[in-house]
Amino acid sequence: MSERKDFLRTIVEEDLKAGKYKEVITRFPPEPNGFPHIGHAKSIAINFGIARDYNGHCNLRMDDTNPTTEDTKYVEALKDAIEWLGFEWHGNVRFTSDYFPKLYEYAITLIKMGKAYVDSIDEEEMREFRGTVTEAGKRSKYGERTVEENLDLLERMKKGEFKDGEHVLRAKIDMSAANMKMRDPLLYRIRHAHHFRTGNEWAIYPMYDFAHCLSDYIEGISHSICTLEFENNREIYDWVLDTLELEPPRPYQYEFARLGINYTVMSKRKLLELVEGGQVNGWDDPRLPTIAGYKRRGYTPESILTFCDQIGIAKANSMVDVAQLEFCIRDDMNPKVPRVMCVLDPLKVTIENYEGSEEIDASYYPDDVPKEGSRKLPFSREIYIEREDFSETPPKGYFRLTPEQPVRLKHAYIISCKEVIKDDNGRIIEIKAEYYPASKSGSDTSGIKVKSAIQWLDAKAAKTVEVRLYDRLFSSEAPEGVEDINPNSLEVIENALIEPAVINEKPDERFQFERQGYFYADPIDYSDENPVFNKIVGLKDSWGKKKKSPKQEQKPQAKKEQIDGEVAAMSESEQARYDRYTSELKLNSEVANTLARDEKLSSFYEEALSTLHSPVALANMVSNEVARELKENDVDTLKFSAKQVAELVRMLDEETISGKIAKQVFEEMVKSGENPTQIVEAKGLIQISDPAIIAPIIDEIIAKNPDNVAKFKAGNTKLLGFFVGQVLKSTGGKANPKVVNALVAEKLH
């Protein structure tokens, strides 16, 4: 478990501590209507991860309430994804369809309570009756149906007596609710369709908002975690469970931001378009962000999970950089995978002073990877190197082979270029080279310094392989659709060369092709006759980057100008109050404004003012602290009174307590409604202003923090606050901060 908690884990811990649930039970509830992608992986990591961290469990539930879009092949894909990621669901796979009978019973209960009715208007009318975001809707006349009528109709709907769309069951809530979702949401619709599990048994199917909360409840879920777009649905979730007066405990819903990654798309619709439009080769195309795609490409489950862990969980819509994912897979591969040599674009090199052949022993792992294993590298007169590793006219900073610059053949000898052979078009077709016999890797006595070591392959022994190079599927950071597709996202190299050990010995299925990247033996297309490797990800390439963009000028974008909107005008009475507050009571305009514009606040203020004539201090307290409490509550639900607030301010005025303590006392009043004087007395919160008491505490703090003293003296004046904070902390907030400030400043100078 990561030691730093996200907001969901914080909630779970609080609930556990409060004894709200015996056990944490989460669920991963996909609709089986598409292939899971890395966004699902995030949700899986959260739900299964939380269950694991708190010794609870996580269910897998297929939310199969819409028979027309769902299919059993998707449930298999979903199960595969979870297993591949290494999680285990609790018990059997659950299906919302398992609960159809129970759900139906709950619907009947709701009807009997007068909380649901059968509506029989058509879709168009329903839309009209729903109103708009700014206008209230109205209930159809069918809302008046009797319980008996509703019961009868629902039963006949279930039996299949009506056609699709003739009737629906709706919750009877509020057609003028500000939350559109609460305007009598649909609970059931008629659907004469074949369901992949229940067949033709049901003619009616529950809607998400009805089925989901109850399925959670039925399974004993404690924390129902979903994505942000369901925030508005939470109110129905609560309404259904509360209205039914179910036996506690009941689940609560929490939302987090779904995952977005740049240069790709994540919506089911867009993914489907790509697959069906033939832009990619199926759901497991390695360029797709589907779990099947990552798996086929060679990503490991560990790397995906690490990624999910690194990006965190929050509520801000965000777009994660693919570089973060790429880092995770590289980081996972680096210490695990054998290094091997592969040449993608071969250039022939003839070593003119070499006769015969030999086999060179070479470790699969570099010195910094503590793993054992090696293979034989055939070596003879004719070899291939990467075309990019030779340059006749090298750019500045080029480390590889040139007519003037020798290079090491990795694990073998140093060579230098003697002659460049070109064809009629001026294309280089061969290099004539010379090797240094004394330079053999491991026993080099030549004393020749080279700037780099390159991969190479013996011409006769090298094996031909197919290598598939993948680049990002889209060229735009936030692709809209097909028009943003990167035309070069797939490059197939049919005749790459690889060392024979990779094919013959098969030391692993994932490799680092030295200096190129990590590659994976394609699980489907690979055969001994036609080996195929997928590029998982390239190595970091600081040379390639430098070449492409010599200087990446990062101009700091100018701070964007913010336009201030109009502030709503004050009404006449508000204006009158404002004028009186500023002129008569000498309040500053901001405080007066806050008070004057709020009916509740101003009357509270004036009531307090009648007890204590301290207009400014009172105004500050009311417009800041009391305002917070009055935001969501009415005056009569508050536990404290205006009189008590006045009392608190009086203590402040008399300097019995500090402003800091006043806040603390106020919090207490909000919770308990106790008198401020009593709170202060009971907790001994009276302010300490005597320097004789404070000074020794400061000395102690200074003695304990020599580093910070030094930093302060070096000019970090922010640290004054640190010292004041420490002193206040050790006095329980009671030290008079003004005195502390003065004393600390004095002692540190």
Partner RNA sequence: UGGGGUAUCGCCAAGCGGUAAGGCACCAGUUUUUGGUACUGGUAUUCGGGGGUUCGAAUCCCUCUACCCCAUCCA
Known catalytic membership, residue 156: no
Among 548, 555, 613, 718, binds RNA (CB under 7 A): 718
Angle at 206 between CA 203 and CA 210, to 5 degrees: 165
Candidates 346-354, 459-467, 487-495, 716-724: pick the segment binding RNA (CB under 7 A).
Answer: 716-724
Q: Which helix (H) or strand (E) element contains residue 346?
A: strand 346-351
Enumerate residues 127-156 that contact RNA by CB under 7 A: 127, 130, 132-134
Tokens of 94: 């659950």
Tokens of 686: 């009276």
Contacting RNA within 428-487 (CB under 7 A): 440-442, 444, 452-454
| Catalytic hit among 79, 258, 348, 660 | 258
Q: Give yes or no for residue 65 binding RNA (CB under 7 A).
A: yes
CA atoms within 13 A on the CB side of 300: 18
Residue 267, interface with RNA (CB under 7 A)?
no
- Please count the residues of the chain: 749
Place of tokens 């907790």: 683
- Virtual CA dihedral for 109, 111, 112, 114, nearest 10 degrees? 130
DSSP result, 710-749: HHHHTT-TTHHHHHHHHHHHHTTT-B-HHHHHHHHHHHH-
C-alpha 666: how far from chain center: 37
Among 76, 114, 738, 746, binds RNA (CB under 7 A): 738
Considering the candidates 13, 20, 31, 434, report the single residue annotated as catalytic.
31
Beta strands in 461-573 (DSSP E): 463-470, 490-498, 510-513, 517-521, 532-538
- Whichever of 126 and 493 has its CB closer to RNA, that residue is 126
**Among the candidate windows 45-53, 85-93, 522-530, 554-562, which touches RNA by CB under 7 A?**
554-562
How many Cβ atoms sit within 10 Å of the Cβ of residue 11?
Answer: 16
Under rule CB under 7 A, which residues in 271-310 are in contact with RNA? 310
Please state whether beta strands 517-521 and 532-538 pair in parallel, antiparallel, or not at all (unpaired).
antiparallel
Report the site for RNA in 401-420 (rule: CB under 7 A).
408, 410-411
Pick the binder of RNA from 276, 566, 572, 636 (CB under 7 A). Answer: 566
Among 722, 730, 747, 748, binds RNA (CB under 7 A): 722
Q: Judged by CB under 7 A, which of 316, 524, 558, 692 binds RNA?
A: 316
Q: Tell me which stretch binds RNA (CB under 7 A): 62-70, 141-149, 342-350, 635-643.
A: 62-70
Transcribe 596-618 into DSSP letters: HH-HHHHHHHHHHHHH---HHHH
Q: Min. distance of Cβ 412 from RNA in angstroms? A: 7
Would you count residue 168 as binding RNA (CB under 7 A)? yes
Residue choice 312, 481, 500, 615 for contact with RNA (CB under 7 A): 312
Site for RNA in 576-635 (CB under 7 A): 588, 590-591, 593-594, 597, 617, 620, 623-625, 627-628, 631
Q: Can you tell me which of 66, 253, 290, 644 binds RNA, judged by CB under 7 A?
A: 66
Segment interacting with RNA, rule: CB under 7 A, options 101-109, 187-195, 245-253, 459-467: 187-195
- Residue 7 Cβ, how far from RNA at the closest point, in Å? 6
373 binds RNA (CB under 7 A): no
Cα gap 539→560, rounded to integer Å: 37
- 245: helix, strand or coil: coil
Where in 238-257 is the site for RNA (CB under 7 A)?
257
Q: In this structure, how many other beta carbons lie within 10 angstroms of the beta carbon of residue 276?
A: 9
**Between 399 and 526, whose beta carbon lies closer to RNA?**
399
Query: Could you give the count of Cα atoms lying within 13 Å of 128 in the half-sphere of its Cβ?
Result: 6
Q: Of the residues 115, 197, 268, 663, which is catalytic?
A: 268
Is 580 designated active site? no
Q: By CB under 7 A, tell whether 207 contacts RNA.
A: yes
Q: How many residues bind RNA (CB under 7 A)?
A: 135
Q: Hey, which residues between 28 and 57 contact RNA (CB under 7 A)?
A: 31
258 is catalytic: yes
Phi, psi of 524 (to 5 degrees): -105, -50
Residue 282, CA distances (Å) to 286, 517, 635 in order: 9, 25, 62
CB of 22 to RNA, least distance (A): 26
Which residue stretches of 446-520 are H helix? 500-505
Residue ranges in 511-540 that form contacts with RNA under rule CB under 7 A: 512, 514-515, 539-540
> Could you give the residue numbers annotated as active site?
31, 258, 268
